[in-house]
Structure 1
Amino acid sequence: MSAAPPADRCYRHPDRRSWVLCQRCGRTVCGECQQQAPVGVRCPECVRELRTEQQTMQRATRRAAGAPRTAVGRRARQWLAQPAPVTIAIFAVTALVGVLQILPGELASAFAYFLPYSLFEPWRFVTYALVHAGVLHFAFNMLVLWMVGPPIEQRIGRLPFLAAYVVSVAGAAVAVAWFTPLSAVVGASGGIYALFGMLIGMQRMVGRVQPSLLIIVGINLAITFLFGGISWPAHVGGLAIGLAIGFGIGLADKRMRRARTSTSSWIVIVGVAALLAALFAARVATLL
């Protein structure tokens, strides 16, 4: 067992003489070992111990405040703190499925909406919006989603926005069931036109609709009817559903005298979803 160094020697370097003491533990430290403190100096061990104590206290404070304990939870919170996380998530999932379409397989046919199949595979009412007929089809839909989605999401909230998008996509499929029941449909266009309609409805209820928005929607509607291979029921149906949701949310906010309330958004979205479910049931009854 080695003897302790003399009091005038550094506890880490016994061959070095010093008269400076650690402000925390009182041990002698040489110039190389001295760590500057708010008052006096500290030895390296005390510096490490204090850093560990501070990190432990910070973690305890974050946990007490409800902060996530894991790295995954922290990253999830950072993602949710973005201005439009749901829009980004829809974009990312659709892009991932678009990449998977390049691989060998029948992903498009497995996800596409086709009424006879959808009666037994109900996920097709939503998954058809994740597959596209080509690169241009995908690029246009995602460009509009990126431009129109964030302001709507910030206006009505994350979960209401996700619900409105899903209801709109499924509602566009219901419109296809009514007007072209034997056609197969792919693409997010129904949901995209619904976003156009929501934006128009909400802008109209709070003021004046941007003329540029009306021009863009008008041009795209003209393209829908001028070119073949485009499902006009999905486009027109999605636009009508979006208008209903947008005007409904704006009107409910005015009646409730509260701006940006999620309650009014949920009331309108659930009401539209119930109406679409009734319309689909009625259509299936006429076909059976």
Structure 2
Amino acid sequence: MCKTKHQRLKQLTIAMGNAVIPKSKQAEVTSYLVEYTCWPPPIFITLISILEVTMYFYYSVDTTDGIQADRPPPTHSPFALNPNSKAEVWRYFTYVLTHNGYMHLIPNIVMQLILGISLELVHKGARIAAIYFLGAFTGALLFFCFDPKVFLVGASGGVYALITAHLADVFLNWSEMPFRWVRIVLFSVWVIADFGFALYSRYAVEEKSKVAVMGHLGGAIAGLFLGIIVLRNLEKKKCETIVWWISLAIFVTFVMGCIIYIIAT
């Protein structure tokens, strides 16, 4: 029984790993995953998801609002990003731990578990954590550049960075990526629905419940470049090295430009 369960887990692990890489690289990754012992497990995505759910319930109990589909953000939280916290740099990363309702929390958790675990099996936790938090950081920068009037909470910056990082890999390996159109359609439907709800939360709800959408945009922009910069290149080509340096230069220039603008204003 245990051996059968282990084999099924191994097959699932291989399927999840191969789901996020092009066909030409699957043999190498499959060879690695066959020897994978599930230790260490995909700890980053698992841990950050547990933390986000825990923080949501903590602030639900800590306030009179309770568990609601959409509620005011936890404005008293030392983790949430607010218009007056420009100098509190830790909030640029920790706001991903706070959410303003379970309709905000659940889509983020589901997407980061589905996509994040597959990516972490292949690329390891450190790379996925870097993309996740740099996506959140970029979202925080855009928040202070363009919409520092409400609160910024939620894991969308990190989640969107994972999505666009994977899509960047899909486009770079378009001819070899299995189910490429299915990926594009499914991710597009999810993003349209999620971003639509975010726009509603920003502009259509009562003032105290408004939440900025810059985390989504910042994460999406960051992921496009970080997917090239950070994810493992299983078969490096000369042209890809050039693309890597161009992506790094654009991303660093973009981030530095945002920082300079924030300091200047």
Bigger radius of gyration: 1
Among residues 72, 93, 97, which one is paired with 1:126 in the alignment? 93
Amino acid at match of 1:95: V
The equivalent residue for 1:100 is 58
User: Per-residue deviation at 1:92?
Assistant: 1.4
Among residues 214, 236, 246, which one is paired with 2:217 in the alignment? 236
User: Per-residue deviation at 1:249?
Assistant: 5.2
1:217 to 2:217 alignment: no
The TM-score, its normalising length taken from structure 1, stands at: 0.60
The separation in 2 between residues aligned to 1:155 and 1:181, in whole angstroms, is 37
Q: What secondary structure is seen at the aligned counterpart in 2 of 1:109? A: coil
Amino acid at match of 2:86: S
Identity %: 20
1:136 to 2:136 alignment: no
Kept in 1: contact 2:98–2:154 (CA 8 A): yes
**Any residues of structure 2 matched to 1:109-120 within 5 Å, and which?**
109-119=77-87
Kept in 2: contact 1:198–1:243 (CA 8 A): yes
The TM-score, its normalising length taken from structure 2, stands at: 0.64
1:81 to 2:48 alignment: no
Output the aligned Cα RMSD: 3.4
Identify if the C-alpha distance between structure 1 residues 151 and 275 changes in structure 2 by more than 3 Å, giving closer, same or farther: farther
The equivalent residue for 1:31 is none
User: Per-residue deviation at 1:91?
Assistant: 0.9
**Any residues of structure 2 matched to 1:174-213 within 5 Å, and which?**
174-207=141-174, 208-209=180-181, 210=183, 211-213=185-187
The separation in 2 between residues aligned to 1:108 and 1:96, in whole angstroms, is 17
Among residues 143, 167, 170, which one is paired with 2:134 in the alignment? 167
The separation in 2 between residues aligned to 1:97 and 1:273, in whole angstroms, is 31
Identify if the C-alpha distance between structure 1 residues 117 and 221 changes in structure 2 by more than 3 Å, giving closer, same or farther: closer
The number of aligned residues is: 203
Amino acid at match of 2:233: D
Runs of 5+ in structure 1 lacking a partner?
1-77
Q: Which has the higher contact order (CA 8 A, sep 6+)?
A: 2
Identify if the C-alpha distance between structure 1 residues 102 and 219 changes in structure 2 by more than 3 Å, giving closer, same or farther: closer
User: Per-residue deviation at 1:80?
Assistant: 4.1
Among residues 49, 53, 69, which one is paired with 1:91 in the alignment? 49
The separation in 2 between residues aligned to 1:272 and 1:115, in whole angstroms, is 27
Kept in 1: contact 2:158–2:219 (CA 8 A): yes
Kept in 1: contact 2:136–2:158 (CA 8 A): yes
User: Per-residue deviation at 1:182?
Assistant: 2.9
